[in-house]
Amino acid sequence: DPDMPFVPSIPEDQFILVEEGDPAVIPCRTSDPEAQVTLVNSLDKPVYALYDTKQGFIGNFPAGSYTCKTMIQGVEFKSDEFLIYIIRATSQLPVEIEALKTVYKTGETIVVTCVVFDNEVVNLQWNYPGKVKEKGLIKLDDIKVPSQKLVYTLTIPEASVKDTGDYECTARHATKEVKENKKVVITVHDKGFVHLEPQFSPLEAVNLHEVKNFVVDVQ
* Bridge partners, 164 (sequence order): none
Same domain? For 116 and 75 the reply is: no
- What pLDDT score does 87 carry? 81
Same domain? For 139 and 106 the reply is: yes
* Residue 213 to residues 185, 198, 202, 203, 217, Cα–Cα distance (Å): 39, 11, 14, 14, 13
> Which of 68, 87, 106 is the endpoint of a domain?
87
Q: Which of 78-82, 88-92, 188-192 has the highest mean pLDDT?
A: 78-82
Same domain? For 55 and 133 the reply is: no
- What pLDDT score does 34 carry? 87
- Report the domain count for the chain: 2
Q: How far apart are the first and last CA of the chain?
A: 80
Please give the single-letter amino acid code of residue 150: L
* Residue 160 to residues 44, 98, 194, Cα–Cα distance (Å): 60, 20, 19
Same domain? For 29 and 100 the reply is: no
Same domain? For 54 and 22 the reply is: yes
Same domain? For 44 and 101 the reply is: no
Domain that holds residue 155: 95-189
Residue 2 in domain: no
Lowest-confidence segment of 98-107, 142-151, 174-183 by average pLDDT: 174-183
- What pLDDT score does 197 carry? 92
- What pLDDT score does 173 carry? 84
Same domain? For 16 and 55 the reply is: yes
CATH number for position 53: 2.60.40.10
Residue 23 in domain: yes
Task: Tell me what the mean pLDDT of segment 173-184 comes to.
Answer: 86
Task: Tell me what the mean pLDDT of segment 100-104 comes to.
Answer: 93
Residue 199 in domain: no
Same domain? For 100 and 82 the reply is: no
Residue 118 has a CB neighbour count (10 Å cut-off) of 14
Task: Tell me what the mean pLDDT of segment 89-100 comes to.
Answer: 86
Report DSSP state, residue 103: E
Residue 219 in domain: no
Same domain? For 119 and 82 the reply is: no
Same domain? For 83 and 99 the reply is: no
- What pLDDT score does 118 carry? 87
What sign does the dihedral 52-55-61-67 (CA atoms) show? positive
Residue 124 in domain: yes
Helix (H) or strand (E) holding 64: strand 64-72
- Using a 10 angstrom Cβ sphere, with 0-12 exposed, 13-18 middle and 19 or more buried, the burial of residue 14 is middle
Helices (H) then strands (E): counts for the chain: 1, 19
β-pairing, 82-87 vs 64-72, is: antiparallel
Task: Tell me what the mean pLDDT of segment 62-71 comes to.
Answer: 93
pLDDT higher than 80, residue 167: yes
| Sequence-separated (6 or more) residues with CB below 8 Å from residue 125 | 169, 170, 172
* d(C-alpha 12, C-alpha 10), whole Å: 5
Same domain? For 100 and 142 the reply is: yes
Same domain? For 99 and 168 the reply is: yes
Residue 208 in domain: no
Residue 215 in domain: no
